[in-house]
Amino acid sequence: MNRSDFTVEILQYELESIVGAEYVLTDEAEMEAQSLDVWWVTRFWKFNDNDFPRPFAIVFPESTEQVARVVKFCDEHRIACVPRGGGAGDSGGTAPIRGGVVMDLKRMDRIISLNERSFTVRVQTGIIQKHLEEYLNRKGYTMNHFPASFTTSTLGGFISTNGTGVLSSRYGKMSDMVHQLEVVLPNGKVFTSLPVRLHSTGPDYSRLFFGAEGTLGIVTEALCKIYPLPQKRLFRGFLLPGLAQGIEAGRRIMVNELMPSLIRLYDEKDTRHILKKQFGVEADGCVMLVGFDGRTRIVEAQYEEAREILEQAGAKDLGEDPGKNWWEGRYKSYYPPNDYIAYPWMTAVTDTVAPYENIETIYVEMKKAVEEGFAQWGAEFHAHFSHWYDWGTSFYPTFLLKEYPADKREAMRLYNRILDAAARASVHNGGVINEHHGIGLRSGRLMRLIYGDRYELAVDIKRALDPKNIMNPGKLGLGD
């Protein structure tokens, strides 16, 4: 046995003493199965005969105490520790680029308590969101969090990317959905935030960990907000004359005290695709799906108000089917073979959020930056506006290249250039890149563009909490 084998053996034994031998994996099978997320770059790299970074061990703790002991161990020995939930991010956020230990949290899936008086559920964060939702549904509740990776990602993953579901216009992002967090800090100590979020007892420190992608610690437990299952879910489709009218109609719905669970406005390109695919119809304009849920009378009254606004904007009522079909088949487009994000096509989303006065300009500039800036590669750009607030909205653009350079490095450079151009179009026009699919390795370099010098605060916080930089190193642009 050579020296490094000996070291690995000792480290493995230490980890086994914490979580049990069965739950420390170093085998080829699990390393291979965990090797990829859904980021185009990681897939492109791997499927082009390149090796991918691996940890020396994957550990599966079952309790906060075990997580704390493993983190403390990593801290003492300066071993990188990468927390992992579903590993289904779009940014290389769980790639163990410095080796070390991957902490897979999926065994931590216990539902601790349901509070039917304050409408909360306390749960370990390794639970797959669909399993949590199924539990709640059986009790008559819902969390109303329905992101694309609902069936496969964990609550902890959503918290760590500050994820957003399709009903976010009413129910918000993860940071709106969670009252309290328990976090294992990089030194192995356990921090639990105050039992309520809306307090004035100093800052709400739990905010640090939403979207931190495991760089500041590992979220192990959360107290989440729940809702009764709605008496009624109403969806309806409309065809607006153009994007500007659609954005304005959406704005008017939001600033007029309505609380739609869903507004989904597709740009002209997406609309043509959807109308043709779903209804075999070819028409100009922009489809908007609207939805309301909750008590029947409130739903109906709100819908009537929204319908009036849409009619005033020149919308044509497409009936219930578009919205209903979308709701029922909302995950279908994430299965292969799908026609927008099919590998090996080069694709990325560059989600952006901005106040109403800026959003249309950002859309136009971003589209121009991608389609005109990369016309030689036939770059396509399409988008939908899917998270609406009473101050602004966010749109979810995707760029797509069906052809790109054969040379691997050139292809990856091209990918990054497109991403950078799209991000600049957003930031320079008053937008914020809104990466709820993960910042990870993909957009780390963009953090300086987005924050400017203000990002020094994030670097200082990271240094203070994790001086040895063991927690998910290299992510979020916080240095390696």
Partner 1 sequence: MGIEAIRETMDSCKHCFMCRHACPVFLATKLDSHTPRGYALMLAEIDAGKLEWSPSVVDRFYQCSQCGLCREDCAYHWPEDDLVRNGREEIIAAGAAPPRITETAERLRNSGVPVDNVPAAPGVLNKRVGKKNPDVLYIAGWAARYERPEIVDALAVIFDRLGLEWSALENECCGIELLELGYTGEAREQAQRFAKSIEEINPRSIISSCPHVCRALREQYAVLGIAFPPLPVLHTAEFLAEEVEAGRISLAALNIDAAGYHDPCHLGRKLGIFDEPRKLIRSATGSVPLELFHNRESAECCGAGSVMLVTEPELARKVARRRMENVRQEGIKTLITACGNCKTLLLGAEEAVKGGIAVMDIAELVAAALRDQEKSEKNRE
Q: Rule CB under 8 A: which residues touch partner 1?
A: 25, 27-30, 32-36, 38, 43, 47, 49, 60, 86-88, 104, 106-107, 109, 126, 128, 130-131, 134, 138, 149, 151-153, 329, 331-332, 334-337, 343
Tally of CA atoms within 13 A in the half-sphere of 352 that contains its CB: 33
Give whichever of 199 and 408 is closer to partner 1, judged by the CB atom. 408
**CA–CA dist 51, 31 (Å, integer):** 12
CB of residue 400 to partner 1, shortest distance in Å: 15
Radius of gyration of the chain from Cα atoms? 23
DSSP one-letter code for 335: S
178 DSSP β-pair partners: 224
**CA–CA dist 227, 238 (Å, integer):** 28
CB of residue 186 to partner 1, shortest distance in Å: 24
DSSP one-letter code for 275: I
Give whichever of 123 and 432 is closer to partner 1, judged by the CB atom. 123
Give whichever of 62 and 204 is closer to partner 1, judged by the CB atom. 62
Handedness of CA 152, 156, 162, 164 (dihedral sign): positive
CB of residue 87 to partner 1, shortest distance in Å: 7
Give whichever of 202 and 337 is closer to partner 1, judged by the CB atom. 337
Give whichever of 34 and 394 is closer to partner 1, judged by the CB atom. 34
Alpha-carbon distance values, 225 to 121, 136, 145, 158, 175 (Å): 7, 11, 10, 14, 10
DSSP one-letter code for 154: B
CB of residue 88 to partner 1, shortest distance in Å: 5
CB of residue 277 to partner 1, shortest distance in Å: 15
**CA–CA dist 381, 408 (Å, integer):** 23
What the block records as the tokens of 266 is 């597709």
**CA–CA dist 30, 230 (Å, integer):** 40
Give whichever of 134 and 456 is closer to partner 1, judged by the CB atom. 134
CB of residue 339 to partner 1, shortest distance in Å: 12
Give whichever of 327 and 451 is closer to partner 1, judged by the CB atom. 327
Question: ∠ CA(473), CA(477), CA(479), 5° rounding?
Answer: 50
First-residue to last-residue Cα distance in the chain: 31
CB of residue 131 to partner 1, shortest distance in Å: 6
